[in-house]
Structure 1
Amino acid sequence: MLLFVYLIFCSGLIVSQCRLTTEDGCNLPAKGNSKFPSNFSFGVATAAYQIEGGWNADGKGLSLWDDFTHNYPHMIDDKTTGDVAADSYHRFDQDLAALKELKVTHYRFSISWSRIFPNGDISSRNQYGIDYYNNVIDKLEANDIQPIVTMVHFDLPYEIQKIGGFANPLFINQFVTYAIELFNNYGDRVKTWITFNEPLLYCKSGYGEANYPPQIHGAGLIDYICVDNTLKAHAAAYRVYKSKFFNTQGGKIGISLDSQFSISNDTALTHRAMQYNLGFLAHPLFSKSGGYPEVMVEEIRRNSLKEGRITSRLPDLDGKWKHIIKGSADFLAINYYTSRYISRAEKPIGENPSFERDYDLDESIDPKWKRGLSRWLYCVPEGLESILKFIRDEYDNVEVIVTENGWSDKGDLEDIERIQYLKSHLQAVLNAINDGCNVRGYMYWSLIDNFEWQRGYTVKFGLYSVNMTSPTKERTARNSVGYYRKVIETHLLS
């Protein structure tokens, strides 16, 4: 039987409290002040592969997702690609018009590495690609919209993957070289950088379960190496920025981590689950002790020895790297969509070895939760409030930006459920702020309909509908645009 309990983290104490969602399954009561701070940032988010198109335009090189969609179309629900998508590479002015209509203060987008360095290396530097993003940033600046730039949002250059990608320790220096190119070209205007988007997802799916490119079956082994090299690459780029660019550019660097909130009436079990999900990367960066979460270190070492191994499958962060990584982020960017109830697994789950086997928890949902079109997406705003409080208490109230949060549907312009989802999750953010959480901004996913990875174009997350069958890719505002714009203008929820 499901336990309709969620955890509230406050004043360093964890308190269990029963709270049911209301009948529509997607509301959250207000707590305290009803207005967002005057300096709170409102924006929207996109990613290069999902909206740009122009997959081989002006010298762009092949990305991991270009190769994947071209050669494994059966892995995409509708067998489509991002070759054209919303064609933002040629039609950014249409995106800009939507941003201006929304009156957002910030726009989070990603840069395609293979558009800057077509073969992933500085030797292939492509001025056309550099110019494209200069144009985007200049137009944002001219309209008082601040860019939040993600350096890698899944679309690794294919040539880098050919020599191992995230599993190769050479990746660390490859990424730093790329990051320096971005700092040199855009750092005078970009003041908020995100190195990587959702490392745990692309490592597990791409290097463990083989559901995403590069389709490596390395569960519990190569996916952990992927996380390790991602952390090291992030930290190395951060240290270079601080030593060589910060004094003149004055920007901030963070990383976007995705996590559900793990709901249980057992506070110790919730804490353990959160360490596996969020803490895997957040603990090395933001905790006082640094390194991987102790529970993961001990459990994975014990499991590895039981399997007959002489060392743990989880890489060891030595003293040097632990020191370099700890504190190497100015803020935590959190991508939150949904939550799950958790309980101890009644029987072994996942293959052996795997993250799932190490995690050793069963997950379930509340049948009252409203579900989006995406099979995994349920409206659980309580989870966002709780995860923000968890971050406050676990990581010394580090600055947080919610960089993704969104709802999928079939694409109707009258998107009542999206408005409900948006309102309830903004309420969750405001509740967390009222309880002392250091949350500075919220970016809705997504500005426009896009190529939604393995779901192709079968689900819609956009505030704006995109006519994908039209040569001009018209953007049309859904009803949620009016709602979100009013919140941005007034800083009030209605």
Structure 2
Amino acid sequence: MSIQKKFPEGFWWGSAASATQMEGAASEGGKGLNIWDHWYATEPNRFFEGVGPESTSDFYHKYKQDIKLMKEIGHNSFRPSISWSRLIPGGTGEVNQEAVDFYNNVFDEMIANDIEPFVNLFHFDMPLELQNAGGWENRDVVDAYVEYASKCFELFGDRVKKWFTFNEPIVPVEGGYLYDFHYPNVVDAKRAFQVAYNTMIAHAKAVEEYHKLNIKDGKIGIILNLTPSYPRSQNPADLKASNICDLFFNRSFLDPAVLGEYPQELIELLREHGQLPETKDGDKELLKNNKVDLLGVNYYQPRRVKAKENLPNPYSPFMPDWFFDNYEMPGRKMNPYRGWEIYEKGIYDIMINLKENYGNIESFISENGMGVQNEGRFLKDGRIEDDYRIEFIQDHLEWLHKAIEEGCNAKGYHLWTFLDNWSWMNAYKNRYGFFSVDIETKERTAKKSASWFAEVSRNNGF
């Protein structure tokens, strides 16, 4: 086959996952409780088909097999996360040696298979004891996180050269403190903004610690789910709505991470509504002096917005949604299984924005993918024929390729995810992987997309 779209040499081909969603062994190996273990124990009814985080995809026991499969399908990089509650049960204090051995084995196995570990420190899984102490609302938890991060750098930094402080830090803010889809199920914007702010302080302090180590070739970044806010029309009211939406959901983390400061417009907006978080002396300098080296971009779907149809109820809790309504564009292309719009050009728009407004920072697509329910119906001769996933990936890669041709500094593409994993409240409802997982036996079976991706990676293009 002739290769029409070649990617730059050394392009990162791989996938991403997270500890709680993939490891399993939730009560083995000396692991402490995190908020997911606790929430599932107290409200199992809120999880799809009552499936909790206990065993998930069992990477904890099957990592050797899985890493071998990664190599087979052309991965040269993979992003797992470290479970804070596994490494330091309770979040502070003694390091759990069984966890150190496990992560050492995983990273060594990856390197032995020429797969570079990209390691994320926090993926929604706050140790329960620290959540009970106030979670990210509490600056002491920020300090505990920085100690945990430093410990990780010390233990694994000789082999791991790409670190990420947080994955989608806005999600615990939205889910845990605004919209009630993550524990602790608080609905309080003021607390939400404090959580968001303190998370960025924790991030900057971890970046500072890492940079102090002066590790050759070492880079530290953050993974943000950037969702372009497209206005319904060019009407000033629609444009204003999309701008405010962008401030809340993208720039609230992107600006401090990459530019080292918050957008003035966002500060003014929060001040006007009495929602500003508490800050400390020196915070501003801390953010300014500790920008990221590398940015991971998670992109799944666009956000389309329009001006509000109705004024917000003055007695309702303050919400970002006071300033815009979601807009369902007629004729949009849909993933009917997940209820999400598919808009491949979004990936290009994000990259152009990074090039024009964020110094063309080195970046990569750290997550992209499509979840499909009841994938078994596409089973043919023992293999899931997921042509829809191949098409989805290829269409996004074409726009990414175009962005690179236009000078965007994009270095790789990781699919969410390597093998079907447990998705928070949705458990195993939607499948995302290159490999399907039998929930009972934990058997892995390659889907059609796995062999297609192996080919793309081998050819460094398609």
> TM-score, structure 1 length as denominator?
0.86
Give distance in 1, aligned partners of 2:461 and 2:126. 39
Deviation at 1:394, TM superposition (A): 1.6
The 8 Å contact of residues 85 and 451 in structure 1, kept in 2 or not, is answered as: yes
- Report the residue type matching 2:457 in the other structure: I
Distance 1:427 1:349, change over 3 A: farther
Partner Cα distance (1:414, 1:328) in 2: 43
Equivalent residue, structure 2, for 1:278: 250
Give distance in 2, aligned partners of 1:365 and 1:134: 48
Q: Percent identity?
A: 32
Q: Residue 64 of structure 1 aligns to which amino acid in structure 2? A: I
Aligned twin of 2:412:
441
Which residue identity is paired with 1:87? D
Residues of 2 paired with 1:343 and 1:371: CA distance?
A: 22
SS in 2 for 1:172: helix
Give the corresponding residue for 2:299: 336
Pair 1:246-2:214 in alignment:
yes
Equivalent residue of 2:80, what SS? strand
Alignment of structure 1 residues 466-485 onto 2, 5 Å: 466-470=437-441, 473-485=442-454
Cα distance in 2 for partners of 1:366, 1:57 equals 49
Q: Which residue number corresponds to residue 16 of structure 2? A: 45
* RMSD of aligned alpha carbons: 1.8
Matches of 1:301 and 1:468, distance apart in 2: 49
Letter in 1 for 2:256: P
Following superposition, the deviation at residue 210 of structure 1 comes to 2.6
Question: Superposition pairs for residues 238-387 of structure 1, below 5 Å?
Answer: 238-243=207-212, 245-247=213-215, 249-264=216-231, 265-266=233-234, 268-269=239-240, 270-287=242-259, 290-302=260-272, 304=273, 312-315=274-277, 320-326=282-288, 327-348=290-311, 352-375=316-339, 377-387=340-350
* CA distance 1:325–1:127, shift in 2 (3 Å): same
Aligned to 1:459: 430
1:68 pairs with 2:35: no
Change (3 A) 1:425 1:486: same
What per-residue deviation string (whole Å, max 9, x for no partner) do you get for residues 393-419 of structure 1?
Answer: 121111112111010113241111111
**2:153 aligned to which of 183, 206, 214:** 183
Contact 2:417–2:434 under 8 Å retained in 1: yes
48, 51, 64: which one aligns with 1:77 = 48
What is the CA-CA distance between 1:456 and the residue it aligns to? 0.9
Determine the C-alpha separation between the residues in 2 that align with 1:261 and 1:395.
15
The Cα offsets for residues 54-106 of structure 1, whole Å up to 9 and x where unpaired, read as 01112110011111112111111211111001111111122112201111110
Please tell me whether the aligned partners of residues 372 and 408 of structure 1 are also in contact (alpha carbons under 8 angstroms).
no
> What is the aligned partner in structure 2 of residue 124 from structure 1?
94
1: CA distance, partners of 2:320 / 2:248: 10
State the 1:317 CA deviation. 5.3
- Give the alignment of 1:156-171 within 5 angstroms: 156-171=126-141
Q: Is the 8 A contact 1:208 1:354 kept in 2?
A: no
- For each residue in 1:6-48, what CA deviation from the matched residue of structure 2 results, as whole angstroms up to 9, or x when unmatched? xxxxxxxxxxxxxxxxxxxxxxxxxxx8211012111101111
Gaps of 5+ in 2: 379-383
Which of the residues 74, 93, 106 maps onto 2:64? 93
Question: Which of 166-175 and 208-217 deviates more?
Answer: 208-217
SS of equivalent residue, structure 1 residue 148 = strand
Question: Equivalents in 1 of 2:26, 2:169: separation in Å?
Answer: 23
Aligned to 1:7: none
SS in 2 for 1:154: coil
Q: For the Cα contact (< 8 Å) 1:372–1:379, is it kept in 2?
A: no
Which has the larger displacement, 205-214 or 359-368?
359-368
- Partner SS state of residue 147, structure 2: helix
How many residue pairs get aligned? The number is 444
**Aligned residue in 2 for 1:428:** 399
Displacement, 1:358?
4.7
Q: Which shifted more, 321-330 or 81-90? A: 321-330
Which amino acid in structure 2 is aligned with residue 328 of structure 1? K
* Aligned residues of 1:291 and 1:317 also touching (Cα < 8 A): no
Structure 1 gaps, min length 5: 1-32, 305-311
Alignment of 1:201-212 (within 5 A): 201-212=171-182
Contact 1:391 1:397 survives alignment (8 Å)? yes
Q: Secondary structure at the match of 2:52?
A: coil
State how far apart, in whole Å, the 2-side matches of 1:369 and 1:46 are: 27
- For 1:359 and 1:324, locate their aligned partners in 2 and report how far apart those are by CA, in whole Å: 31
Q: Which residue of structure 1 aligns with residue 461 of structure 2?
A: 492
